[in-house]
Structure 1
Amino acid sequence: MAVRLLTYIGLLYEDLLKSGEIGPGDPLPPVLPVVIYNGSDPWTAKTDLADMLDPSLPPQLVRWQPQMRYLLLEERRYREADLARLPNAAAALFRLENARAPENIQRVVGCLVEWLAGPENDGLRRAFVVWLKRVLLPARLPGIEIPNLNELQEINDMLAERVMTWTEQWMAQGVQKGETKFLRRMLNRRFGPLPAWVEQRLEQADEAELEAWADRVLECGSLEEVFGGVA
């Protein structure tokens, strides 16, 4: 990562020179390299290029080596209580990515409506709207239809109105996925590896079908009997 950032910063300076924003004799503007990481596993890459160099390098050559350190913001290390005290867009982004329940998402969106109210924040509001509709809400609320909304206030109003219903649907879907997983495990232990047609039936089943098949697992002698016929 440090090597890539060094390349990006060099390209940035080259672009600034080509565009005339800085002259050949002007000092280069400072750059703060920031890496925002939202993965579930801890970040393990080096944050300083010096730590990646050969440790056996002769001391007289050390001063001539490239230097680059970046600021790492690892979202998983920030507590919700600490982020909630920071009224800014970066903290809100971290809170949204860490949120799992619809009501928590709605709470943060409500804060964004207030913080980004001015016309100077039009672009940032639009960016949050697009990201919420296309990335976060579909991931947090799978199977739930997201209406086409264009303003943060509209998304906030929608969440406030539907959060209870969505939470119930979301929990019901979670329960059904758990039932499907449990039935798949039972079938696998009784009959061995499952063929493709069984997997398809399991994925398309409703709650009533899952319950009926679960009742037959210990009684039937074949997969065809469990599922009520030959595939």
Structure 2
Amino acid sequence: MTDLLDPTNDYVFKRLFADAPDLLVDLINDLRPDLPNITSVEVLNPTIEASELTGKYIILDVLARDGEGHCYNVEVQVRRYGAWHKRGLFYLARTLGLQLGSGEDYQELRASVGLHLLDFDLFMETAAERAQAVWRFEMRDERQPDVTLGNILQMNLIEK
């Protein structure tokens, strides 16, 4: 019997979705119920450059776009470290900012969605009090959470 490759390895993770985009479509559809189901995605960074393998980490494990233009940054994170969420937010904002060129209408912006698969519990201080492993963050008013700026920026976290 042969051992399977570890899907939390950056190289294996990226190759898995680049080689089997239908799996990525299923993951995205399961995690963004407020948007219409997609039928296909274009993986925008299917190859792994040699410099990425020797660098600190692979930037944007999987960057994809669906037929409506919504962008997805799909990452796996196996180690908990202090600034990972800031990096994720930076990538999310960057995928939104890179959608438009000079003079293009802001109405053309599509959702930028971060999908982060975490191999740890991020919110450990509340882990005993909750049975929640899937988190979704959007732009909302602090005092009136029903007042929202829409779902154009959203960060989805799936904890271990």
TM-score norm. by structure 1 comes to 0.22
Q: Which has the higher contact order (CA 8 A, sep 6+)?
A: 2
TM-score norm. by structure 2 comes to 0.29
| Bigger radius of gyration | 1
Q: By percentage of residues, which structure has more helix?
A: 1
